[in-house]
Structure 1
Amino acid sequence: MHRPPTAEAELADELAAVRPGLVPGYAAALPGARAAVLTRLWRGLAHEPLPWLAGREPVRDGLVLRLSDGRRLSGPRPDPYATDPYVTVVRLGEVAYDDPARLMTDLAVPHAAGFAAELGHSVASLALSRAGQRGGPRPWPGCDWEWEQRVVDGHPFHPTCRSRPGFSVAEQLAYGPEHGPVVELGLVPVPAQACLVTGVWPDWLRDGRRVVVPVHPWQAAHVLKRTCEERLAAHPLMSLRTLALPGGPHVKTALSARLTSSVRDISLPSVAASAVLSGFGQVLADRSEGLLHVTRTLGAAAAGTADLAAVLRESPQVYAAAGERVVPVAALATTALPRSPAWLAAFARLALTAGLRLLELGVALEAHGQNLLVVLSAAGEPMRLVYRDLADIRVSPARLARHGIPVPELPARMVTDDERALRRKLFGSLVAGALAGTAGSRAALGQALRTAVRDLLRTSDLTALRDDPLPAKALTLMRMSPAGGDLWTELPNPLHESPN
């Protein structure tokens, strides 16, 4: 039976045509990329409420999953907080699989085919991302965008961590931050009366009575179907659609492509609410007792559609004093800092103190490794935090009222008094995301958290964090659910001792 070419082979053919010098590095990176994606997939299979799984059976040297049709899938003992690729092979019956896409294809469960294609693309793109990397020690970056471009593997726990459907190899090399490109943003003038603008849109992005909207070149070519005569050089950050202007602000552009889980457009309600959210962010920063800065949104504009919109946001670097560095939490793993248990505990204490303080006030941050940054002293000690992009926070009017904080006019999806939803948002992003991705294992994360919580103010939220299973997004289930939206699972609490 003839099988269609795999994503790995298709990418290899494209790469040979556009950058033949990377072909050997790409081929060498494929086994490690398969293991990295398979490790992420095994996390989902081992811990998420997948409807076609009938049960899970721990065994002496691993875990056996029983499928509803009677088949058995076996693999190593899962560590839901591990970032090193410890899963190299799993077995469906007696057949061994080292390729997550082939495994998902042969599982043949509902919606497996589309997810298998995403997994194949994730492996191939991850190998491409790793192919051009230079080994050995690297100096600490001097620019904010250089930190962002050190994050090569993408999301530490998402099985489609590098899936970029709709991007050719040439486009990945031209726009992917890990490849270190300079991206030429297009500049599209729009009549002011046809444009929604909030905040202060700068004069250098105006042309008489027209508002000039920066547009990502992929968006211009594939969605807007237009060329842009004027361009603006910028450095892509880890989110790919947000870019740093040299010496200036960050520009968040609309990018109507599915990256990891979401289509990255900028909705009109988010543009309309951006100034209010930015002002609210400063209220939160003032209430954080000096632990947290929130980057300001300078201005936002949308030309009547989510396909042509942009947000200007100040660089987190403005919150660094002399000798300090501001580092995205996702980039911490590229340094030696988290390898010290004392450093990791200090960072966990800082992050939990700030996060729980805001949660008590009534705001649950989505503090994952991309949104959350840490200010380091010249000696590398964690001093303060910086948070960017308030678009996905959750706000409790009841909690705000208890603390005398007026409730701003926010999109309805952000507002809830449901304590479970509030805790899911913070704990799922901060503990199961940012801190877990920095620690790299259940043992390291548990040790850091047990040290950190000793000094924290006792609240009902802290009690829930200490006693309950840890909520996390069910990333595999979400990709296999046609309805879309956030779905959740519960992970073993890292504060509890790991079973033998």
Structure 2
Amino acid sequence: MTRLPEGTPSTTADVEAELLLRVLSALLREDVVGWRTRSTAVRHPDGLWLRLSGGHDASGGDALLMPVQADGYQGTYAARLPLLRRESDGAELTDAGSVLSALRDLADPVDRGGFEALAAECGQALDAMRLHAGTKGEADALLTGRYGGDPATWTGLAGGLGFDTLAARTDHPVYPTSRGRSGLSVPQLRAYAPEFHPTFALRQLALPRDAVTVGGGTDAWLSPREAGAPELEGSHLVLPVHPLTADGTLRDALREAGLDGRAQLLDGPGSDVVPTLSMRTVALTSHPARHLKLPLATATLGLRNRRTIKPGTLVDGAAGQRLTEAVVAREPRFQGVVLHADETRFAHAGHELIAVLLRRYPAGLDGSVVVPMAALLCQAPGGDRLLIDHIADRFYGGDPLALLDATLALLFDWQTTLFAYGIALESHQQNISLVMDEHTDGNAGRRTRLRLLFKDNDGPRVNHARLREAMGQQAPERGEFDDARIFVDGDGPVLDLFTTITLHLCAGSYAFGLARHGHAPLERLLRLVRDRLAEAVARLGTGPGEPGALLRARVLDAPELPVKAMVTAGTLLSKERSGAADINKHYTTGPNYLRQTGTS
């Protein structure tokens, strides 16, 4: 049996096998119960296995064997077959429940509840994967009927919602159960999840004005009169609410916020919307360039990664946007090329379930293809080709590697420039869109123009000393951000974020992904990543103490690189046990795949 190819599994057995392979590989990568540090390699006739002795303290218990193969993307090995084997009797554990039960028995007793939680996540993800496999034809027909048969012609921010639907049906590059959403039924998924591309009406909540904190002015929100409640005009402000929240946990949230009896959920429907890839963010059907980020009482990418909105993150998102725009203003080559959604308009009532962000995208994108990076390796509707192939046909002469090359050149130029200012963004592949069109460029005639569109700037890491050195008095003060973890005292946390997000998720994942799909040899793709990063680093200067020297030593030439330990921090261990100050920025280490290409 060999590892299943990436794509949509065709049978229930394929779905289960693919999920288990991803789970086993994640547990190995994150050294759960010592799979990396306590196991020994054993060569069998069919290939390499790792042997892990029983007991969390390496004493007693039955040993387990995991079949592995060389990997290189964030881990030296990955699971080769979807199973664990008990050494004593040769029994094979071939489903996530039995595998996690066996590993639970090897864990420290205080951590065993996390394995039960991960098993529940696996069940949710498996249900979602089966649902996706069974509805692929339905979804493809809906998208092609709405946007056209060739996804390279899905233009504007409205067309981008179609790409979000494709991306929602594809696995995260690292997190194994990414398609699952806790606590949601199949009818709720069909009604509200992006993979089904539904349209639905929001609910409307009238809140006393004295209870609402507003950023960017009240003109962004409906007045009670406009919402059909003229009797509340002047005393209340109306905020949109997601139906899943309105019908679920809103009552408890209002009571916790001291608003029970003072707030009023209006009877009339709110605006019609379509969900984006993040699900809690929805696009107005009447104005696709305006998105509303609304809290949901569910979790994705880990039990602790709740989809609520902490009020402080709204402040941080606006401050992060101002900071990145200040850098663009100081670096002329990025003006009009690196675009940002406006995230300065928000409102909240001091509770993570009573909040809203109005995200406004730049004008002038209607004729452009706006595709989130998360969708590039998705299977396009109506065939076996990847979305990146269709996009390359239109803009890059049918060469997907040329598209990747152009993307990496611009992305690394921008992100390394930010690093020189002491900044790293949590701009993963869901938060960056490629904006492509044919552009008239003086005497050069019409050519492809590539731009980058960013959103969600609320979780950066900033070396304040380096920022002050680069920007002087224009550098923001710590008090402009709510989260004290954003400002750090050295380059280490900034480098960690740059590596795990920009390099691994926005570059390395495409090299390994395109190689798996047979687009080019892995060595060639990794050389492309390294070369473009090396060029960007060289522009910063590589003398002692210069930013380029740090990136070369800590990223290009480092023997190991930081790797996000998402399962450990998000589900398996409590914050007290993992030590994670931020579950999205908790790391282990893995091999540096850039070193496989040699030095430059």
SS at match of 1:336: helix
Matches within 5 A, 1:260-339: 260-261=301-302, 262-288=305-331, 289-290=333-334, 291-315=337-361, 318=363, 320=365, 323-334=367-378, 335-337=387-389
Question: What residue in structure 2 maps to residue 370 of structure 1?
Answer: 430
Q: 1:139 to 1:276 in 2, by over 3 A?
A: closer
Q: Which residue of structure 2 aligns with residue 472 of structure 1?
A: 563
Q: Is the 8 A contact 1:343 1:381 kept in 2?
A: no
Conserved 8 A contact 1:182-1:235: yes
Q: Are 1:406 and 2:475 matched, yes or no? A: yes
% identity of equivalent residues: 23
Please show how residues 442-461 of structure 1 align to structure 2 within 5 Å: 443=523, 445-458=525-538, 459-461=548-550
Match of 2:39 among 39, 43, 55: 55
Q: Deviations over 1:111-153 (max 9, x none)?
A: 3222111112111112212321126975332322122111112
CA contact (8 A) 2:347 2:356 kept: yes
Residue 462 in structure 1 maps to residue 551 in structure 2: yes
Bigger CA radius of gyration = 2
2:117 is matched with which residue: 114, 117, 128? Answer: 114
What letter matches 1:73 in structure 2?
L
1:354 matched to 2:414? The reply is: yes
* Aligned-residue offset at 1:78: 4.4
Match of 2:162 among 140, 143, 146: 146
- What SS class does the counterpart of residue 271 from structure 2 fall into? strand
Residue 98 of structure 1 and its aligned partner are, at CA, apart by: 3.9
2:9–2:133 CA contact under 8 A, matched in 1: no
Matched-pair contact (CA < 8 Å) for 1:33–1:124: no
Q: Contact 2:464/2:487 (CA < 8 Å) preserved in 1? A: yes
- 2:222 alignment counterpart: 205
CA, structure 1 residues 62+296, in 2 after alignment: closer, same or farther (shift >3 Å)?
farther
Q: Are the counterparts in 2 of residues 330 and 438 from structure 1 also a CA contact under 8 Å?
A: no
Is the 2:422–2:466 contact (alpha carbons within 8 Å) kept by the matching residues of 1? Answer: yes
The answer to whether the aligner puts 1:104 opposite 2:100 as a matched pair is yes
| Alignment partner, residue 34 of structure 1 | 16
- After superposition, the C-alpha distances for 1:361-387 in whole angstroms (9 at most, x for unaligned) are 121011211111222234995722111
Q: 1:392 to 1:177 in 2, by over 3 A?
A: same
Q: For residues 415 and 333 of structure 1, what CA distance do their matches in structure 2 show?
A: 34
3-state DSSP of counterpart to 1:187: strand
Which segments of 5 or more consecutive residues in structure 1 lack a partner in the other structure?
1-25
The answer for the alignment partner of 1:496 in structure 2 is 595
| Paired residue type of 1:149 | T
Please say if 1:214 is aligned against 2:240: yes
1:482 aligns to 2:574 (yes or no): yes
**TM superposition score normalised by structure 2:** 0.72
SS of structure 1 residue aligned to 2:414: helix
Unpaired runs of 5+ in structure 2? 1-7, 56-61, 142-148, 225-232, 252-263, 379-386, 393-398, 440-446, 516-521, 539-547
Contact conserved, 1:197 with 1:271, CA < 8 A, in 2?
no
1:387 is matched by which residue type in structure 2?
A: F
Structure 1 residues 275-331: Cα deviation after superposition (integer angstroms, max 9, x where no partner)? 433322321332453142221114100023111100001136x364x7432211001
Displacement after TM superposition at 1:194 (Å): 0.8
Backbone CA RMSD of aligned residues: 3.0
Stretch deviating more after TM superposition (293-302 or 201-210): 201-210
Matches of 1:35 and 1:305 in 2, distance apart? 41
Question: Structure 1 residues 48-57 or 418-427, which shifts more?
Answer: 48-57
In the alignment, is the contact (CA less than 8 A) between 2:220 and 2:345 conserved in 1? no
2:134 paired with 1:131 = yes
Cα distance in 2 for partners of 1:219, 1:482 equals 26
Aligned partners of 2:432 and 2:452 also within 8 Å: yes
Structure 1 length-normalised TM: 0.86
Tell me which residue corresponds to 1:176. Answer: 193
Letter in 1 for 2:348: A
The residue type paired with residue 429 of structure 1 is I
Further displaced range: 242-251 or 133-142? 133-142
Distance 1:98 1:112, change over 3 A: same
Distance in 1 (alpha carbons) for counterparts of 2:461 and 2:451: 22
SS in 1 for 2:537: coil
